[in-house]
Amino acid sequence: MKILVIEDEAPIVRALERGFAAHGDLVVSADNGEDGIALAMDRTVDFVLLDISLPGRDGHQVLARIRAVRPEVPVLMLTARDDLENKVSALNAGADDYVTKPFAFEELLARMGALGRRAEPTGSQLEAGDLRVNLLSHRVWRGGKEIELSSREFALLEFLMRNPRQVLSRQQILSAVWDYAFDPGSNVLNVYVRYLRSKIDRSGEPSLISTVRGVGYRFDPPADSQSSS
């Protein structure tokens, strides 16, 4: 997991880096609000730990910007203030949870684990064998390796995976993915299927996307897997 720590107290950042490294997690950090916002826009960041008191933009302002662009990413606020007003303020601003400094690292891990489970609700993923799609973060993996897809490639893959083993006509796919009555004579679908195959298929194995001549395409998961939503 890639964790962003937005905190201006260097000893806390170092302690968190050591703790998360021991669990196999990667930490990136920023010591001010502006840099924190910039790093949070990176969609490879899986979790944000955000201090309320920061130089420049404070934690509430940073949180507002993160929520505007990445509403799905879990954000846990760090606060040195133990009063009810500040805790309620953090939650009302869009934080998923908070911890009060000083905190035990074990408690922080437990709270992060709970938030991570809530951030992956039933229906947020599609799976076919070792191909996994997260519908909230728009991220795709095969065999644990992340695959970079454009927004259109992602939409095409999602539509195919939601209709496994079904022959989908060109017009069905064009209408669903391009969202309007696209010229059925256009080769745009052929092009994007080729792009997608080059990214999700494995050399020497059958393609997950079969061409049905004169009709369209069919998504064929491995025989021992089931697509789910």
Tens of pLDDT along 74-132? 999 998 876 677 777 777 778 888 888 888 998 898 888 877 655 554 457 888 888 88
Residue 138 pLDDT class (50, 70, 90 cuts): confident
Residues 6+ apart with CB under 8 A from 151: 138
What pLDDT does 201 receive?
Answer: 94
pLDDT digits (tens, 9 = 90+) for 157-183: 999 998 899 899 888 888 788 765 556
What pLDDT does 134 receive?
Answer: 87
Tally of CB atoms within 10 A around 153: 19
What pLDDT does 180 receive?
Answer: 54
d(C-alpha 27, C-alpha 34), whole Å: 18
Mean pLDDT of the chain: 85
pLDDT reading at 229 higher than 50: no
Q: Domains in the chain and their CATH numbers? A: 2-117 (3.40.50.2300), 125-219 (1.10.10.10)
pLDDT reading at 72 higher than 80: no
Percent of the chain exceeding pLDDT 70 equals 89
pTM above 0.85, yes or no: no
